Amino acid sequence: MKISIVNTSKNNLPKYSTSASAGMDIRAKLDNTVIIKPLERVVIKTGLFIEIPEGYEVQVRPRSGLAIKHGITVLNSPGTIDADYRGEIGVILVNLSNKNFEIKNGDRIAQIVIAKHEKAIWNEVNSLEQTERGAGGFGSTGIN
């Protein structure tokens, strides 16, 4: 699938790191270094603008290395970029560690995954079919 992209940064376009990768890293477009303090959240712009086909979304997800090594994650994970959005991709990052974290221009800050999605049509009814699980919620399946 070809997707139109405008890149106003000097960073490389997102790309798959391996032939089996589902996600592509995206990078910060910054004029100055940004410090994220513990428990602080910031929007980091990327300089990327995309046009994806209807029926698809781009999911913005955390990078596992940033999460485990530094406690940096995408706050609304996964973030969704809809097919009709034409603005700049921004990433809401949060620092869940107890140390300041520095982001510089060109740093890999998140990953994006392109996903097909379905459109639902609600069928309003008065009751639902019964299942073995029923209304059992969090932890009800016995899996820890």
The pLDDT tens digits of the residues spanning 96-141 come to: 999 999 999 999 999 999 999 999 999 999 999 998 888 877 776 7
Phi, psi values for residue 119, rounded to 5°: -100, 130
For residue 108, tell me if it sits in a domain. Answer: yes
For residue 71, tell me if it sits in a domain. Answer: yes
In which band, very low, low, confident or very high, does the pLDDT at 13 lie, cut at 50, 70 and 90?
very high
For residue 123, tell me if it sits in a domain. Answer: no
pTM, full prediction: 0.88
The SS3 of residue 23 is coil
- What's the number of domains the chain is made of? 1
For residue 141, tell me if it sits in a domain. Answer: no
> Model confidence over 48-94: pLDDT tens digits?
999 999 999 999 999 999 999 999 999 999 999 999 999 999 999 99
For residue 136, tell me if it sits in a domain. Answer: no
Checking if the pLDDT of 144 tops 60, the result is: no
Domain of residue 101 covers: 4-116
Interatomic CA distance for residues 73 and 41, integer angstroms: 10
User: Amino acid identity of 133?
Assistant: R
Summarize the confidence of residues 30-44 as an average pLDDT: 98
22: which residues sit within 8 A by CB, 6+ positions away?
A: 113
Checking if the pLDDT of 8 tops 70, the result is: yes
Angle among Cα 55, 26, 80 to the nearest 5 degrees reads: 35
Interatomic CA distance for residues 14 and 5, integer angstroms: 10
